Structure 1
Amino acid sequence: MTQYFDLMLRAIAVYVFIIIAIRLFGKKELTQLSVIDLVFILLISNAVQNAMVGPDTSLQGGLVAAGALFITNYILKKLIYKFQSVGKLIQGEPITLIYNGLPQKKNLERAGFTISDLEAAVREHGVESIEKVDLAMLEVDGNISVLSEDFKKRTHKKRIHKTLGSMGD
């Protein structure tokens, strides 16, 4: 029984380590996986496998480690949901990248983004340049949200279209 308890503790320790490492190295790593990022994730998982299960490569050992990870993940999500301070500690807070068409240089540095990264993210949202962005945020999940005058126009057109469409009913 202590063998399985040891497996659980090791799996949880690796889980916590990976969360801390991702938190320290930034959310940018979560946005879009490049080939380098994918290889990195595969190698990290391979590197920590032995740390989790040690010499126990049995089915039971693997299931105990996986079960410990599922339970730890569930508990952590509940804590994040229930306590905002835990969420901020683990996930961080959204970071403003662009405000009124101006890149926020300190925040870009903090998030590890270059102007090229920002321009690419803006284009992915259908906006041709940073200057046309009202607000761009790096969200806690690593995604970038972009709001622009174009967004407002599209939303406003949809509302007008829906309103005019419902008038005919």
Structure 2
Amino acid sequence: MWTDLMHLDISVLDKVIRTVVVYLALIVLLRVAGKRDLAQLNSFDLIVVLLLSNVVQNAVIGPDNSLLGGLIGATVLIAANAFLVRVVRPHAKIAAFMEGTTTVLARGGKWIPEALRHEGVRQTDMEAALRRQNAYKITDVDQVKLEPGGTIVVDLRSELESATKADIARLEAKLDRLLAG
């Protein structure tokens, strides 16, 4: 039994190369697919993501189904990801190439149809995102951005933003000066 668990049917180097190549290929495929797939998974996207792991499984493990082979593959995946996050990603140009850049989807209270189309997002989905961020209609918004990681950022028009403690302190100080003067 122990031999079955620990015997590798392919070399460790073969396992490492397979894992890294599949990992990098998936990064490229997800980059080509666009930011929407990361931010707004619909049921079809979820099915693709779930099936994707099964589709690439044999490419990663090859003919090896051993416990040791699986642990080597998992270790290589985690190490490759840690390398990318800590070493490659901090470099702005490389990160922009791998992840993309911020896309402005709306500006000045109006949607930018070309940007929505380019990112593959529907206006109705974006309107739902507005409501989640306390904007009830596009005219309430100064700008809507889709970040490289798929996060939707909504900037309200300044007059609709909530007051901060600093705003209140400034108003109190101004009122005190008016009353004293």
TM-score under structure 2 length normalisation: 0.82
Q: Where does the alignment leave 5 or more consecutive residues of structure 2 unmatched?
A: 1-7, 173-181
Give the whole-Å Cα distance in 2 for the aligned partners of 1:14 and 1:57: 17
- Of all paired residues, the percent bearing the same amino acid is 32
Q: Work out which of the residue numbers 23, 40, 51 in structure 2 matches 1:43.
A: 51
Give the whole-Å Cα distance in 2 for the aligned partners of 1:61 and 1:162: 62
Matches within 5 A, 1:20-169: 20-77=28-85, 78-81=87-90, 83-149=91-157, 152-154=160-162, 156-161=163-168
Give 1:6's aligned residue.
Answer: 14
**RMSD, aligned α-carbons:** 2.0
Please identify the structure whose Cα radius of gyration is greater.
2
Give the whole-Å Cα distance in 1 for the aligned partners of 2:159 and 2:17: 48
Give the whole-Å Cα distance in 2 for the aligned partners of 1:114 and 1:34: 12
CA contact (8 A) 1:127 1:150 kept: no
Q: CA deviation at 1:145?
A: 0.1
Q: 1:120 and 1:22, CA in 2 relative to 1: closer, same or farther beyond 3 A? A: same
**Equivalent position amino acid for 1:113 in 2:** V
Q: CA deviation at 1:152?
A: 5.0
Q: CA deviation at 1:34?
A: 2.7
Q: CA deviation at 1:141?
A: 0.9
Q: What is the CA deviation profile of residues 129-159 of structure 1, one whole-angstrom value per residue up to 9, with x for unaligned ones?
A: 11211011001110100011378531x2543
Structure number with the higher helix fraction is 1
**Equivalent position amino acid for 2:130 in 1:** V
SS of residue matched to 1:113: coil
Q: What is the CA deviation profile of residues 97-116 of structure 1, one whole-angstrom value per residue up to 9, with x for unaligned ones?
A: 11111111221111112221
TM-score under structure 1 length normalisation: 0.87
